[in-house]
């Protein structure tokens, strides 16, 4: 892939997929802003790891469900590196419950973090992308947003909303050299899936034609490719990386 140094913001990048993408993009000479909400030590460790191999990164706290936090995060990023050219909306929460028991705050918190956070960050960075006539926005969703799941109506709704949002924004900015895409992972070995019981893990595997959970390293290359100039003719897509779960 052709590689040019870009300024990158990744929300929720202290752990899991966000962390792995941050390290990979930094290793490609991109300047990376690592956003976190509550995992400060982990975020600082990501920065240290990047700096060890000569990469450029810094971390900043902020809750993406709060618009003023998104403004502050992006303003700090611009002051440090310049306009954000690649935005990866990765921050997300899960608050599972059957609909009959779900509390209003669980639905609101999930929608505000997953969907509103994506909206706030996208709206803010897209202004400079339009001006510069280049940009990459990758929204991290989930296979649950495609197929639904028992006990996750709030999470599925938030991720499905991201899909419609992505397609709409992709149409709005396509002629400005900006692509907007979704990567929708299936069940991946992360801290989130580690808390599942062994019985539940076996049940989930039975839903997946490949019969196993994915690895983070199987998700990262797709995201990295979508940030490149080689992906300039791909926009408005929902790319599943799920072992066939949503077939």
> What is the set of active-site residues?
155
Per the structure block, which two tokens stand in for 87? 């935005």
* Angle, helix 16-27 to helix 40-52, in steps of 10 degrees: 20
Q: How far is it, in rounded angstroms, from Cα 157 to Cα 209?
A: 24
Q: Are 219 and 19 in contact (CB under 8 A)?
A: no
Strand-pairing partners, residue 239, are 183
Residue holding tokens 């080689």? 230
Q: Are 154 and 111 in contact (CB under 8 A)?
A: yes
Closest-CA residue to 125 (of 113, 136, 116)? 136
């Amino acid at each position: 892939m052709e590689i040019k140094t870009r300024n990158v913001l990744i929300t929720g990048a202290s752990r899991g997929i966000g962390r792995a993408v941050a390290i990979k993009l930094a290793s490609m000479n991109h300047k990376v802003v690592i956003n976190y909400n509550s995992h400060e030590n982990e975020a600082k460790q990501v920065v240290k790891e990047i700096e060890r191999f000569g990469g450029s990164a810094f971390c900043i706290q902020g809750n993406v469900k709060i618009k003023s936090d998104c403004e502050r995060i992006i303003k700090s990023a611009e002051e440090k590196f310049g306009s954000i050219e690649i935005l990866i909306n990765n921050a997300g929460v899960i608050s599972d419950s059957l609909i009959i028991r779900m509390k209003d705050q669980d639905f609101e918190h999930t929608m505000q973090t997953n969907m509103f956070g994506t909206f706030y960050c996208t709206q803010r960075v897209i202004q400079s992308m339009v001006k510069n006539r280049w940009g990459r926005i990758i929204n991290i969703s989930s296979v649950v947003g495609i197929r639904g799941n028992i006990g996750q109506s709030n999470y599925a709704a938030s991720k499905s909303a991201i899909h419609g949002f992505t397609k709409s924004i992709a149409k709005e900015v396509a002629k400005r050299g900006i692509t907007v895409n979704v990567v929708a992972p299936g069940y991946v070995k992360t801290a989130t899936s580690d808390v599942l019981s062994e019985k539940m893990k076996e049940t989930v595997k039975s839903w997946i034609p490949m019969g196993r959970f994915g690895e983070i390293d199987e998700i990262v290359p797709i995201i990295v490719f979508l940030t490149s100039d080689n992906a300039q003719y791909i926009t408005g897509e929902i790319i599943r990386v799920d072992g066939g779960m949503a077939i």
